[in-house]
Amino acid sequence: MIDLHTHTDQSDGSDSPPRLVQLAAAHSLEALAITDHDTLAGYDLAAPDAHEAGLELICAIELSTRVERQPGAPRSPSIHLLGYFPDRPPDAGFRDWLSHLQQSRYARNVSLVDKLQSLGIDISLEEVRALGRNLTGRPHFARVLLAKGYVRNTQEAFDLYLADNAKAAVEREEPSVWEGVRRIASAGGLAVLAHPVRLAAEERAGLDGFVESLIDEGLAGVEVFHSEHCAADVDRFLRIARKFSLVITGGSDYHGDNKPGISLATGRDGNLSLPYRLIEEMRTYAERVASI
């Protein structure tokens, strides 16, 4: 079994990268991809341990992107792209681009703290960053609000303060989904549309056309298998992947204790069991693209 979609505490998972490697080895996984949000830090920190444990660790990332809506329309929900670099990690240019994204996230976080403070909430950037390490995101803000008793659970923190339309919402500069695909592809990676079940109604309604527009920029695959995909979702996304001869990937989206109910490799209530063959097909696809 393999798992191609996991998070560590370098983004919003709860396990450290070495701990996740230990867990993968204990589950006898044949390969693991760490797909932290907008950072390669999880992969970088896990690589030595994985090597020592004899675990195949695939360099990967999950990028948050957006699509532009008409002026005045509500922002589109974030669209997640997975980037896989099965042969070698991306070059310095890609890493530079990631640090530019980090800066825009940092600026957003500063404004978010200001907005929360102006709403009478006692919160500092330091305490949020202490949870977020390499990538401080809204889930970390939610945990601070919960720990301080401002909300009853983290969902309430989003609903009241942090969601895109909530009281403290601050827009962040995010790359477009097409730019995300281009960046991954030009860094030698395979860009994969993550958990399509979470796409907004507009993209889901015109899914074939949306996928085609991403293929034009270099999209390589679709995440067909995911803890949140029911059997009908899997069928639908499998059909699209086959229609466009795209790579099929899958993973649990494991976040440790931060997403209870999702287990490494086996997903929710054992709804996943992914064969190593998916990685072989990924490599075959990468070789074919490289030879064109």
66 binds Fe ion (CB under 5 A): no
Q: Calculate the CA 117 to chain-centre distance.
A: 29
Candidate residues 33, 40, 79, 80; the one interacting with Fe ion per rule CB under 5 A: 80
Residue 213 CB, nearest distance to Zn ion (Å)? 25
Name the binder of 163 from ligand AMP, Fe ion, Zn ion, none, CB < 5-8 A by kind: ligand AMP
Name the binder of 174 from Zn ion, Fe ion, ligand AMP, none, CB < 5-8 A by kind: none
Nearer to ligand AMP by Cβ, of 57 and 151: the residue is 151
- The strands making up 190-193's β-sheet, listed across from edge to edge, are 2-6, 31-34, 56-65, 79-85, 190-193, 219-226, 247-251
Rounded-to-integer distance, Cα 7 and Cα 18, Å: 12
139 binds ligand AMP (CB under 6 A): yes
Each residue 154-173 as x (binds ligand AMP by CB under 6 A) or -, in order, gives -x--x----x--------x-
Stretch of 18-26, 90-98, 135-143, 218-226 contacting ligand AMP, by CB under 6 A = 135-143
Each residue 238-277 as x (binds Fe ion by CB under 5 A) or -, in order, gives ---------------x------------------------
Candidate residues 17, 137, 251, 267; the one interacting with ligand AMP per rule CB under 6 A: 137
Candidate residues 10, 64, 266, 271; the one interacting with ligand AMP per rule CB under 6 A: 64
* Chain residues in the site for Fe ion (CB under 5 A): 62, 80, 194, 253
* Chain residues in the site for ligand AMP (CB under 6 A): 64, 137-139, 155, 158, 163, 172
